[in-house]
A and B are shown apart, each in its own frame.
Chain A
Amino acid sequence: MAYMKRSPWIIHYDGSSCNGCDIEVLACLTPLYDVERFGIINTGNPKHADIFVVTGSVNEQNREVIRNIYEQMPQPKVVAALGICACSGGVFRECYNVMGGMDKVIPVDVYVPGCPVRPEQIIDGVVKALGVLEEKRARMKAGAPAEVPA
């Protein structure tokens, strides 16, 4: 990525994470890491967002919430699963109310493991997500669907 062509907006949802990853997501936005200088803004509205940053794992209660947010986002969109819980369930994998990683309900493009993820890793993951976003945009321009069916 030579330079960033667009200002990607992210939306963050905490699945059933312990907060560790979520406060690191917020730490990315604050002065030490400050991703806003690249035009990356945390928005609360799914319709404004390009990248869905999701932490924690899936359970019965939040499954529909996650799917709703994902479906409301306009194409092209990228999902980045932050933290080992969002990737696979992590230390809570064997808990009775944890169904597993985010890929159980929505297609995940970027996996960022770590417990908790460090801000540097989050920024790296979002930058990787930007590459995926550009690919999807190119596919849409060529008239193909943005999502490649698995």
Chain B
Amino acid sequence: MTRQIVIPFGPQHPVLPEPLHLDLVMEDERVVEALPSIGYVHRGLEKLVEKRDYKDFVFIAERICGICSFIHGMTYCQAVEGVMDLPVPPRALYLRTVWSELSRLHSHLLWLGLLADSMGFESLFMQSWRLREHILDDLESTTGNRVIQGACKVGGVRHDVSNEKLGSIVAGLDELRPKLDDLVNVFVRDDSVKHRLGGLGVLTEQQAWELGAVGPVLRASGVSNDIRQIGYAAYDELEFTPVVETGGDCYARTMVRAKELFTSIDLIRQAVEKIPEGPVEMKVTGNPWGEFYARSEQPRGEVVHYVKANGTKNLVRFRVRTPTFTNLPPLLAAMKGLQLADVPVVVLSIDPCIGCAER
């Protein structure tokens, strides 16, 4: 029998900006088993609800993760609004939709770049991040901040965006579209990309479903599951079909995210066309009492925020189930039998966000 050795991967590893630690049990070049150990980024922010006012906690919820921060803030607000049964003004819901989709665009472009970097395709990494700056400019000009926007609040959004500005965002995205086409074309057609990604880290439909994969990982294995279809925010009034691929490998996961770029642009256009006039926030008085689950679709998959309140200004319990945490078991399954050199690519293929997963 070949001798088994254990190679530590991380926590400080050049391919990931974040600390993920895996013990890779190897037989020669093959991974037999991958054992994760977590806790490098754990802050314990769920317990902070006991010290913060439920309205102020939006700022903490946004800082669960800096990449999908808007969607975290929004889902927390949805949960509190669910407990308090607040009728949020429709214009606020549409603005939330626009900002969610801009967040998804910037997150997917960021990920496409990181994936290219993990393959050693440096210029593609730079091109992805160059296009991503256009999206960040849109976010900055509408909310005042590039990464953590602070735009959502319980009962609406913090500022209105004029219809002219929304129109110019759509026009900007139309200009961006051919550039995105060129970028995505490289991921779809380039031989070296296909060779690095094709047939790697395969998850069958059965495996992905049973191991609890969510988001693009699940959709890449042929399951049509997109939480935006339950119609939170303004998604019930917009039309889209989830992007589904059947390969189940890293290439399919890349395709799902690449195609979702264009779904997001379409959703932003529809939202801007349909956005109603009116107020963007409502006065929120009193304290919440009860419990609520709010779900939404992050760039990485389904996120669940649970809140429990007892009528005081502090919540009793706040719990988040983040997509990266649920995508870890499928990742570990997909890693069995890999060559060591392919490990970084497969780890990145689930779009790991350790900040989310450990909170």
Interface residues of A (CB under 8 A from B): 12-27, 30-32, 43-45, 56-57, 59, 61-62, 65, 69, 91-92, 94-98, 115-116, 118
Interface residues of B (CB under 8 A from A): 11-14, 17-19, 39-45, 47-48, 51, 59-60, 63-67, 69, 110, 113, 125-127, 129-130, 133, 136, 146-148, 353-356, 358
Q: Judging by beta carbons under 8 Å apart, are B43 and A31 in contact?
A: no
Contact of B147 among A15, A23, A69, A91 (CB under 8 A): A23
Contact of A97 among B14, B18, B43, B113 (CB under 8 A): B43
Q: Judging by beta carbons under 8 Å apart, are A22 and B17 in contact?
A: yes
Q: Judging by beta carbons under 8 Å apart, are A31 and B41 in contact?
A: no
Most buried by B among A15, A18, A22, A69: A18
Q: Judging by beta carbons under 8 Å apart, are A44 and B13 in contact?
A: yes
Q: Judging by beta carbons under 8 Å apart, are B66 and A92 in contact?
A: no
Q: Judging by beta carbons under 8 Å apart, are B41 and A91 in contact?
A: no
Q: Judging by beta carbons under 8 Å apart, are A18 and B63 in contact?
A: yes
Most buried by A among B14, B41, B130: B41
Chain B residue numbers with a CB within 8 Å of A62 are 11, 19, 40-41
A30 to B3, CA, bound (A): 42
Interface residues of chain B: helix, strand, loop or mixed (majority): loop
Contact of A19 among B45, B129, B353 (CB under 8 A): B353
A43 to B129, CA, bound (A): 19
Chain A residue numbers with a CB within 8 Å of B51 are 94
A11 nearest CB neighbor, chain B only: B12
Chain A residue numbers with a CB within 8 Å of B13 are 44
B51 nearest CB neighbor, chain A only: A94
Q: Judging by beta carbons under 8 Å apart, are A19 and B65 in contact?
A: yes
21 sampled A-B residue pairs with Cβ under 8 A: A13-B12, A16-B42, A17-B41, A18-B65, A18-B355, A23-B66, A23-B67, A26-B129, A32-B129, A44-B14, A59-B39, A59-B42, A62-B11, A69-B12, A91-B63, A94-B48, A95-B43, A96-B44, A97-B44, A116-B147, A116-B148
Q: How far is the CB of A92 from chain B (nearest CB, A)?
A: 5
Q: Judging by beta carbons under 8 Å apart, are A23 and B17 in contact?
A: yes
Q: How far is the CB of B73 from chain A (nearest CB, A)?
A: 12
Q: Judging by beta carbons under 8 Å apart, are B147 and A95 in contact?
A: no
Q: How far is the CB of A16 from chain B (nearest CB, A)?
A: 5
A30 nearest CB neighbor, chain B only: B129
Q: Judging by beta carbons under 8 Å apart, are A13 and B19 in contact?
A: yes
B63 nearest CB neighbor, chain A only: A18
Chain B residue numbers with a CB within 8 Å of A43 are 14
- Whether A95 touches B126, Cβ cut-off 8 Å, given contacts A23-B147, A65-B19, is no
A92 to B48, CA, bound (A): 8
Chain B residue numbers with a CB within 8 Å of A12 are 17
Contact of A20 among B41, B63, B133 (CB under 8 A): B63
B17 nearest CB neighbor, chain A only: A22
Q: Judging by beta carbons under 8 Å apart, are A95 and B48 in contact?
A: yes
Q: Judging by beta carbons under 8 Å apart, are A20 and B42 in contact?
A: no
Q: Judging by beta carbons under 8 Å apart, are A14 and B41 in contact?
A: yes
Which 9 pairs from chain A and chain B are nearest by CB?
A: A20-B66, A44-B14, A30-B129, A19-B66, A31-B130, A19-B355, A97-B44, A95-B44, A61-B39
Chain A residue numbers with a CB within 8 Å of B11 are 62, 65
